[in-house]
Structure 1
Amino acid sequence: MSDESEALFDKADTLDEIRDKANKNSNLEMKLRNCIKDSMSKVDSLLTRNDTTQAQLTRHNELVSFMKTYCHERAYSFQIKKCQDVSCNICTPIRLPQTVFDSLHFLPDPVPALDNPDHYTSFQAVYGKQTSEEFRPSLQLNQANAEPAPKSVFASGKIRDYIMCCDCGKWHYVYSDKALSQDEIQDFKQSLYTYDYSCGAPLFPDNHYLAELLFVCVKISCDTPMEILYYSSQKSENSDICYHCGTDSDFIDPPVKMVIGPKRPRFCGPTP
């Protein structure tokens, strides 16, 4: 890219500003496209602008190697640093003084302070050290709210049975990735007589072999509504029960926005 074009883009601080300048100047847009294409070809000659999905990108071995060698990827940042390998055909020589370049490191992740876990260690204390996203607040929140089961198992096509909470009387679906064998069905039925199930609890003790095979949504409590999948399921044995309390009488019509499948949620009182 020419010095003139570089100067124009140098005044753009965000991707939106870069895109806006390119849209207003077709010549500038073409120079930007060519510049990006040249950089892409250095990283992976087979990479195209149409390769945009994770599945497509992971098939480009040279790109994957580049990411591992030069890049630092996080949920909210993406950083690249030159390698200084004289045989590298991607990185150009550094322009900073060597001492300054050597002092530059990837931005660290948040790390709780050892003496006060409610606060983070200072930037100066962790800069230049190896850190991970383990303590990223949004990651910890997702982990806290995650079900202790494969996410893909919670689908209507993987519903194998029902179980009722002994405290509130609400029904829960029992999920499994695969159809159960006769022995597994028998063992599951036997466990229903052995254990009283309550909302928020796993189906089995950790040492039960079915604990790795059958799952319920443990994030549903006696105070939360029924699983919405109960009403979208095609199972003919689903009876009409209240979305909030699980009773089977004195229904009122649900809001239109709640009609989601072959069986609409039912309510025995005012909806929230």
Structure 2
Amino acid sequence: MTQENAQPEIMYTTPADHVRLITMNRPETLNSLTLDGNATMLNYVREFRDDPDAWVLILTGAGERSFSTGLDLRRQSQQDASNEEPPPPPQVPNEGLHSYPSIEVFKPVIAAINGYAFGGGSEMALWADIRIMSENAEMGLLEPRRGLLSISGTTRMSRAIPIGLAMELIITGRRYKADDCYRMGLVSQVVPQAELMDTAVAMATEIVTECSPIATRVAKEHITRTLHLPVREALQVQSLNSNRLRQLSPKDTAEGPRAFVEKRKPQWVGG
């Protein structure tokens, strides 16, 4: 295959109205990503964040074997072995998808985990708000078995599931099958692989059809910013966010109750 005909490493498509899909497209390397691929993916996430017509994002991997195994270590080791002098590290870390400082995206994100999710792949899945897994998929933070600490997975995993289960998963570095991930509460659904993308797109479509886009964003932002607060303080912030939502989205906050009374589907405008 010539370079001109090669498929892009990252694909950005629109599977349904107001829904965007990012596909990691290197199935021959288990969808491990190059540094350029990581940068492209981050740019697409920014595009999604800033696009007023994009309300829900789905992440997935190409093929039937792997969601993503993170950074392409073989490619990176080849670059490290070259004689090129690496650029100096920035004094302030660059914004990353799941590293520090992490890009803030308050629109809903769904991970459709179609196979192996290890290393950076598991961290991308943990960055998502909702995780749906195919029956053949596996997930784990394998870094301790490589003498490493994950970039963000340790932190996000300890917030995604009960701490006892998170500690087992983090400290053992084991690989967990889909049924185990469902039992832990790490994923909300396990479906046959042939049904995975239809299930993810159906959930995204349900969100954009049934829920106000601004309401979902304010709710996600509220959870993100108050998870560390005591309940009393978080409730105070929620009261402020409720009033803020009415200011940000006066048409939709009026449309929702009106549609309910009139027994029809709401027509959201995102404002």
Greater percentage in helix: 2
What TM-score, normalized to structure 1? Answer: 0.21
Question: Which structure ranks higher in relative contact order (CA pairs < 8 Å, sequence separation ≥ 6)?
Answer: 2
Greater percentage in strand: 2
